[in-house]
Amino acid sequence: DVKVTQSSRYLVKRTGEKVFLECVQDMDHENMFWYRQDPGLGLRLIYFSYDVKMKEKGDIPEGYSVSREKKERFSLILESASTNQTSMYLCASSLWPRTTYEQYFGPGTRLTVT
């Protein structure tokens, strides 16, 4: 079974802090994704990466950056956390190229910025 793990289930940070969210997958997937999930808005793509050191902006990249130094690890960085970044953050991975294109999700990190 594919396993996607995220470094924390719950995280509380103060406004202005630098925040690192880590995601690790164990199935040698090329693609990795970061989403945020907010009530009524569904999942919105922040960034994705299709290879080591490669990254692409999603729909809402402002205020975030990412790092992918190793294939299995994809980090989301909040350079200066703000209260409007309080959300559930979900990491996912998928195999490329492949006919199924399904994504495997981690359990999520619920981030609260106070």
Partner 1 sequence: SQQGEEDPQALSIQEGENATMNCSYKTSINNLQWYRQNSGRGLVHLILIRSNEREKHSGRLRVTLDTSKKSSSLLITASRAADTASYFCALYNFNKFYFGSGTKLNVKP
Site residue total, partner 1 (CB under 8 A): 26
Interface segment toward partner 1; rule CB under 8 A; list 12-20, 40-48, 61-69, 74-82 = 40-48
Residue type, 110: R
According to CB under 8 A, which one of 20, 107, 112, 114 is a site residue for partner 1? 107
3-class DSSP string for 78-96: ECCCCHHHCEEEEEEEECC
The least distance separating partner 1 from the CB of residue 81, rounded to whole angstroms, comes to 21
* Site for partner 1 contains 110 (CB under 8 A): yes
Closer CB to partner 1, residue 6 or residue 85?
Answer: 6
What are the residues binding partner 1 (CB under 8 A)? 4, 31, 33, 35, 40-45, 48, 50, 58, 90, 92, 96, 100-108, 110
